[in-house]
Amino acid sequence: MRRSNLGLVLREVLSAPAPVSRADVAASTGLTRATVSSLVESLLAAGLVTELAPVAPQGAGRPAVPLGPARGTVAALGLVISVDYLGVRALDLAGEVLAERVEAGDFRRSDPPTVLGGARRLVGEVAGDLADGPRLVGLGIAVPGLVAAGTRRLRIAPNLGWRDVDLGDLLAGTPLADLRVEVDNEANLAARAESWARKGDVRDFVYVNGEVGVGGALVQAGAVFVGSDGGAGEIGHITVAPDGPDCRCGATGCLEAFAGMDAMRRAAGLPVDAGVEVLLDRAAASDAAARAAVEGAGRALGIALASTLNTVAIHRVVLAGNFAVLAEFVRAPVAAELRRRVLLAEWSPPEVEVALVDDRPAATGAALAALAGLIADPAAWTTA
Assign domain 2-69 to its CATH architecture.
Orthogonal Bundle (1.10)
Residues 55-108 have pLDDT tens digits of: 766 655 567 789 999 999 999 999 999 999 999 999 999 999 999 999 999 999
**pTM of the predicted structure, to 2 decimals:** 0.93
pLDDT at 200 over 70: no
171 pLDDT band, cuts 50/70/90, is: very high
Mean pLDDT over all residues of the chain? 93
Q: What is the pLDDT of residue 57?
A: 65
* Percent of the chain scoring above 90 in pLDDT: 83
- Phi first, then psi, for residue 293 (nearest 5°) are -65, -45
Kindly state the average pLDDT of the residues 307-336: 96
- Asked if pLDDT for residue 280 goes beyond 60, the answer is yes
- Predicted pLDDT at 76: 98
Task: For residues 384 and 378, give the distance between their C-alpha atoms in angstroms, rounded to a whole number.
Answer: 11
Instruction: Give tens-digit pLDDT for 345-358.
Output: 999 999 999 999 99
Give the angle 190-365-233 at the CA atoms, nearest 5°: 40
Q: Distance between CA 55 and CA 38 in Å, rounded?
A: 21
Q: What is the mean pLDDT of residues 16-35?
A: 91
What percentage of the chain exceeds 70 in pLDDT? 97
- Give the DSSP letter string of 327-356: HHHHHHHHHHHHHHH-TTTTTS--EEEE-S
Topology of the domain comprising 74-190+361-381: Nucleotidyltransferase; domain 5 (3.30.420)
Instruction: Check if the beta carbon of residue 67 is closer than 8 Å to that of residue 20.
Output: yes
pLDDT of 20 higher than 70 = yes
pLDDT in tens, 100-125: 999 999 999 999 999 999 999 999 99
Of 77, 168, 157, 153, nearest in space to 111 by CA: 157
Query: 2-69 and 74-190+361-381: same fold?
Result: no
Residue 239: its pLDDT value, please?
96
- C-alpha 312, offset from chain centre: 20
Do the bridges between strand 146-147 and strand 153-157 make them parallel or antiparallel, or are there none, so unpaired? Answer: antiparallel
pLDDT at 231: 83
- d(CA 322, CA 306) in angstroms, rounded, equals 20
- Would you state the pLDDT for residue 384? 46
Alpha-helical (H) ranges within 30-152 are 33-45, 112-129
The class that CATH gives domain 197-354 is: alpha beta
Q: How far apart are CA 261 and CA 272, in angstroms?
A: 9
What is the mean predicted confidence (pLDDT) over 172-181? 95
Residue 369, pLDDT above cutoff 90: yes
Which is nearest to 160 in space by CA: 198, 210, 204, 105? 105
Q: Per-residue pLDDT averaged across 27-36, rounded?
A: 93
Residue 242 confidence (pLDDT) above 70: yes
Q: Where do the structural domains in the chain lie, given as residue ranges?
A: 2-69, 74-190+361-381, 197-354
